[in-house]
């Protein structure tokens, strides 16, 4: 499909307004929907020039064949192995030429003029280094994507078995419940499924920290952007659908391991070894307790129809425990 003066030929000299980097692994059909939505958004936004870079992490589902046949305007950077989210995005960012750079998950779809709106906002607000959109779930409901930076208390409760016992105000503040979904407001960070950064900010702070394989890398990136003096803004008038977690769903145990290891690395990096080690001990105790409880339920036949699922959980918990102990 020929671009209509909106998605430039990569060999042309003019610098595009926006470079979109997509790291993809075995999500061919979702990637196609994402690329189609970008093409429509670019064509319908007068004057906006966009380049799209797909870093394929050694997919084996025909992704590259599809890109070659249907999307000749996409710059393809195929890898010989699954390089992961952070390394893949950095590869794409280095290749990008745009005034603004955007990380976009392959399981997203751009709605309307979201890209043009975010570019315009950055054009109009030179002190803003990064923006993110109002993100929707597949069913059209709002997906929680804006945050304040996590505290130690947040880390103890959020995404652990204690979350249901957390003080309401603690997590409400973390999830920015006080900021309406349609508002435009300064925040601390936004999820990495759709993040647009000013080139000057990227040049100043660099790319993603590759110590994060997946999870928490966007928190760290945003923290460095804010530390460098830039503002980060959630633009609630924009819309992007995020179908969510389709690549990580393929590796459930690794997903748990990376999530917790990334959390520990983030806190070691920004809060020190003492706090990180205390958090590691808490997580070890928490996962050990869950493994024992699920094993007991299997042993006594509690809700037999869930036996297979419980055994799978126990296996995942022990893998996480071993990973936390070893590193």
DSSP assignment of 29-68: HHHHHHHHHHHHHHHHSTT--EEEEEEE-S-SSSHHHHHH
Lowest mean pLDDT among 103-107, 155-159, 283-287: 155-159
Q: Per-residue confidence at 316, pLDDT binned at 50, 70, 90?
A: confident
pLDDT at 301: 77
Q: Residue 40: pLDDT band by 50, 70, 90 thresholds?
A: very high
Q: Poorest-confidence range of 13-22, 287-296, 318-327?
A: 318-327
Token pair, residue 14, equals: 């003019």
Using only the alpha carbons of the chain, give its radius of gyration: 21
pLDDT for the residue numbered 2: 35
Give Cβ neighbours of residue 241 (< 8 Å, ≥ 6 apart).
Answer: 108, 109, 111, 135, 136, 137, 138
- The rounded distance, in Å, linking the Cα atoms of 169 and 55 is 40
Longest CA–CA span in the chain (Å) reads: 69
Q: Who wins on pLDDT, 325 or 95?
A: 95
168 has a pLDDT exceeding 50: yes
In this structure, of 119-133, 216-230, 287-301, the range with the lowest mean pLDDT score is 287-301
pLDDT attached to residue 247: 46
Q: Which of 231, 17, 235 is nearest to 128 (CA)?
A: 231
* Sign of the torsion formed by the C-alpha atoms of 101, 103, 106 and 112: negative
Q: Is the pLDDT of residue 251 over 80?
A: no
Average pLDDT over residues 112-141: 97
pLDDT greater at residue 260 or residue 146: 146
- What tokens were used for 251? 């590796």
Separation CA 326–CA 119 (nearest Å): 44
Contacts of 299 (CB under 8 A, 6+ apart): none
**pLDDT at 17 exceeding the cut of 90:** yes
Q: Is 215 left (phi over 0), alpha (psi -120 to 50) or beta?
A: left
pLDDT level of residue 195 (50, 70, 90 thresholds): very high
10 vs 188, residue with greater confidence: 188
Per-residue pLDDT band for 297 (boundaries 50, 70, 90) equals confident
Q: What is the pLDDT of residue 4?
A: 36
SS3 content of the chain, % helix, strand, coil (to 5): 45, 20, 35
> What is the predicted pLDDT for the residue at 3?
37
Q: What is the pLDDT of residue 327?
A: 66
Per DSSP bridges, beta strands 231-242 and 128-136 are parallel
pLDDT of 235 > 50? The answer is yes
């Amino acid at each position: 499909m020929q671009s209509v003066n909106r998605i430039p030929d990569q060999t042309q000299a003019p610098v595009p307004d926006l470079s979109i980097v997509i790291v993809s692994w075995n999500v061919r059909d979702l990637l196609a929907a994402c690329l189609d939505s970008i093409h429509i958004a670019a064509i319908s936004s007068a004057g906006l020039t966009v380049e799209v870079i797909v870093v394929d992490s050694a997919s084996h589902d025909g992704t590259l064949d599809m890109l070659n046949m249907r999307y000749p305007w996409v710059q393809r950077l195929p890898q010989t192995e699954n390089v992961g989210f952070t390394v893949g995005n950095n590869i794409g960012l280095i290749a990008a030429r745009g005034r603004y750079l955007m990380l976009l998950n392959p399981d997203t779809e751009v709605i309307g003029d979201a890209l043009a709106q975010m570019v315009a906002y950055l054009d109009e607000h030179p002190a803003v280094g990064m923006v993110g959109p109002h993100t929707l779930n597949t069913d059209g409901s709002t997906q929680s994507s804006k945050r304040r930076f996590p505290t130690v208390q947040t880390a103890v409760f959020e995404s652990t078995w204690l979350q249901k016992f957390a003080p309401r105000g603690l997590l409400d503040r973390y999830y920015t419940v006080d900021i309406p979904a349609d508002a435009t407001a300064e925040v601390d960070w936004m999820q990495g499924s759709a993040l647009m950064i000013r080139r000057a900010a990227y040049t100043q702070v660099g790319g993603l920290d590759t110590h994060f394989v997946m999870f928490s890398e966007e928190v760290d990136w945003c923290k460095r952007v804010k530390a460098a003096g830039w503002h980060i803004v959630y633009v609630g008038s924009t819309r992007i659908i995020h179908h969510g977690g389709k690549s990580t769903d393929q590796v459930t145990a690794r997903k748990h391991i990376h999530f917790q290891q990334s959390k520990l690395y983030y806190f070691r990096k920004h809060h020190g070894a003492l706090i990180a080690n205390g958090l590691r001990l808490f997580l070890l105790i928490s996962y050990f307790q869950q493994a024992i409880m699920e094993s007991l339920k299997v042993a006594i036949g509690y809700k037999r129809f869930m036996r297979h699922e419980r055994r799978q959980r126990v296996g995942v918990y022990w893998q996480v425990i071993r990973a936390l102990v070893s590193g």
